[in-house]
Chains A and B, each alone.
Chain A
Amino acid sequence: MPLLEIRDLRKRYGAVEALKGLSLDVERGEFFGLLGPNGAGKSTTINILLGLILPDSGSIRVFDQDFAIQQVAIRRRMNVAAAFTSLTGVLTVRENLKVYGRIYGVRNLERKIDELLERFEITELAQRKLQYLSSGQHTRVTLCKGLINDPALLLLDECTLGLDPDIAEKTRRTLQEFQREQQTTILFTSHNMHEVEELCGRIAFLSKGEILRIDTAARIKSLIPHHVLEVRFGPGIDLSPFRHLDGTPQAELGGDSTLRFVLDDPERQLDSLLRRLTRAGGHIADIQITRPTLEDVFIKVARGEI
């Protein structure tokens, strides 16, 4: 039985339909990504799951309980870390964490706080007021708050925003460790495609309030079927004859004696293309295959090309 079941969730703001009947299952212990351009409905979905927005219709079951009836009890076993949100600025980091620890009824709270501060490498900030922290430090405190009650379901909304690459990498590793140790189910949104691909087992790709596809990153990338093959020839060769060879895809001229071929079915086309180029007298100096990335899919979705 899935830990989270969303059925036919709809939300409209005036003329704008933010969610158009979204349905989704997330399994226990899954690291699940929500991906999509701005306005796709990711944050609306997260905020509905937190009880901050009331949907127009649809149903949600979490921990096999009806969210509409048991929302407060469910929220005790959940938590969130979201960019753009804050804790109380005049309180120190430790005080803020103690507030939420007490609200969630955490046992051995002081020890739990020490452990989290150490995990995110911010022990030295414990007595600093939150309002004096940098955005990166602030983000890590928000993550500590998100993990304070060892949530069974954790919602992470752009939670690594503002972190430098080194700290962001450490944070991802920490989240993975935490998820493995606690078997936490994590719902994750980010605009960092590399991050989503690295962390999430499955991804729901949203656009205009609908799920386009739920799958692994590898399969979602196959929404763009073609690969780009760049062939660099030896210097001083006239490339025009190679651009329109029979039985090969048409090529574009690149810089530095290079031709770019778009392959719809690389497994079938690659070998024969290279043979024909060689047979036609082309001296191939180098080749490079560029596979579609999650970012390519994202851009095409955002532009309405998929």
Chain B
Amino acid sequence: MRYHLSQDFTCTAPAVWGLVYKFTCICYRSLDRIFDIVYWPVISLLLWGFTSRFVSTTSSSSGIMEFFVGGAVLWSLFWRAQADVCTFILEDFWSRNIYNLFASPVTPLELFCAIGLIGLVRCLLSFVFLGLLAWFLYAFNILLLGGTAIAVFTTVLLLFGWVVGIVISALIFRFGLRIQVLAWSVGFIIQPFSCVFYPLASMPRWVQVIAVTLPTTHVFEGLRHAIATGELAVRPLVIALGLTCGLLIAALLFFQYALLQAKKRGLLTRFEMA
């Protein structure tokens, strides 16, 4: 029997609304999900904020605090977006609800739309909280970057976070819960190559080759350029946005492929896939 793949890309409002309702309930019923909006981002902000304060006292360069704190605040957006996709998918594995969810008329596109909507709200909450904390602790006003810059930076970071989250989710469907650790660790692998706290030019050549393929690198290069010159470098950001959109489509197709493989192997009906 040949499965018609186009069905997985249909999207209806009731299904998305039902899933958004579920994720909202999970958020306010589960302390973990409330806590993780602020916990790791705040730790990161404190770490890099105090590091930059120390470096500022030993260096004559200007803008060090802005580079580090701005990097920490924006990086939390990517990390939050990526982790939210994985966590909300994993919630259904942990609850053994995957069976009922995929037996319902929910499609993968509806699932990711719902996760995207709830993830967007959570990312914005996290971003606002960190922005206020950065202003309070380090007198760094992220709004000085300008509305356009913030909009472009956050869009690219959110979308790329979802790309990575979708790819990890696909791998979880294919290989089971034994690789769930990727949900929290892949961000740490991507971070050194994204030039969050240092310029691309300072990296070894081979790292630069990898780094330029990541949309996140262009965001943080753009951030430093905006802080240093007060201007937005449009071209690399447009490239980053285009690249991210392409990767998002590729990630959805990869997830669809992984889901199909899981269905062929009967993995969706085995709840303890670890």
- What is the bound-complex CA distance between A193 and B99, given in angstroms? 26
Collect the chain B residues with CB atoms within 8 Å of residue A233's CB. Answer: none
- Across the interface, name the chain A residue whose C-beta is closest to B29: A90
Collect the chain B residues with CB atoms within 8 Å of residue A87's CB. Answer: 95, 97, 100
Collect the chain A residues with CB atoms within 8 Å of residue B29's CB. Answer: 90-92, 95, 129
Is the Cβ of B1 less than 8 Å from the Cβ of A57? yes
Q: How many A-B residue pairs have CB under 8 A?
A: 129
**Given A52-B102, A52-B103, A76-B105, are A88 and B92 neighbors across the interface (CB < 8 Å)?**
yes
* Size class of the contact patch on chain B: 35 or more
Q: Tell me, yes or no, whether B14 is within 8 Å of chain A by CB.
A: yes
Q: Tell me, yes or no, whether A89 is within 8 Å of chain B by CB.
A: yes
Interface size on A, residues (CB 8 A): 48
- What is the bound-complex CA distance between A95 and B23, given in angstroms? 11
Collect the chain B residues with CB atoms within 8 Å of residue A54's CB. Answer: 1, 3, 260, 263-264
Collect the chain A residues with CB atoms within 8 Å of residue B151's CB. Answer: none
Residue in A53, A58, A75, A102 whose CB lies within 8 Å of B18: A102
- What is the bound-complex CA distance between A58 and B3, given in angstroms? 12
Interface residues of B in 5-44 (CB under 8 A from A): 7, 10, 12, 14-15, 17-19, 21-22, 25-26, 29-30
**Given A43-B269, A91-B26, A103-B19, are A82 and B99 neighbors across the interface (CB < 8 Å)?**
yes
Q: Tell me, yes or no, whether A248 is within 8 Å of chain B by CB.
A: no
Is the Cβ of A52 less than 8 Å from the Cβ of B269? yes
**Given A13-B265, A52-B263, A72-B7, are A58 and B14 neighbors across the interface (CB < 8 Å)?**
no
Is the Cβ of B17 less than 8 Å from the Cβ of A102? yes
- 0 or 1 for each of A37-73: is its CB under 8 Å from B? (1 = yes): 0000001100100111111111110000001111111
- Across the interface, name the chain B residue whose C-beta is closest to A18: B266
Is the Cβ of A103 less than 8 Å from the Cβ of B18? yes
Is the Cβ of B103 less than 8 Å from the Cβ of A101? no
Distance (Å) between the CB of B108 and the closest chain A CB?
A: 11
Q: Tell me, yes or no, whether B229 is within 8 Å of chain A by CB.
A: no
- Across the interface, name the chain A residue whose C-beta is closest to B14: A105
Is the Cβ of A13 less than 8 Å from the Cβ of B266? yes
Is the Cβ of A145 less than 8 Å from the Cβ of B18? no
- What is the bound-complex CA distance between A90 and B24, given in angstroms? 12
- What is the bound-complex CA distance between A50 and B105, given in angstroms? 10
Is the Cβ of A100 less than 8 Å from the Cβ of B104? yes
Distance (Å) between the CB of B274 and the closest chain A CB?
A: 16
**Given A51-B263, A76-B105, are A103 and B1 neighbors across the interface (CB < 8 Å)?**
no
Is the Cβ of B97 less than 8 Å from the Cβ of A95? no
Q: Tell me, yes or no, whether B258 is within 8 Å of chain A by CB.
A: no
- Across the interface, name the chain A residue whose C-beta is closest to B20: A102
The residue in B10, B22, B26 that gathers the most chain A C-beta atoms within 10 A of its C-beta is B22
16 new A-B contacts, CB < 8 A, other than A13-B265, A54-B263, are: A52-B102, A53-B264, A53-B269, A59-B1, A67-B1, A68-B4, A75-B104, A88-B97, A91-B26, A92-B29, A98-B18, A101-B18, A102-B15, A103-B14, A103-B15, A103-B104
Closest 3 CB pairs of A and B: A102-B18, A103-B18, A50-B103
Would you give 20 A-B contacts (Cβ < 8 Å), ordered by A?
A13-B265, A51-B263, A53-B268, A54-B260, A58-B1, A60-B1, A68-B4, A70-B7, A72-B7, A80-B100, A84-B271, A91-B29, A99-B18, A99-B19, A101-B18, A102-B18, A102-B21, A103-B106, A104-B105, A129-B29
A interface list, Cβ under 8 A from B: 9, 13, 43-44, 47, 50-60, 67-73, 75-76, 79-80, 82, 84-92, 95, 98-105, 129, 145
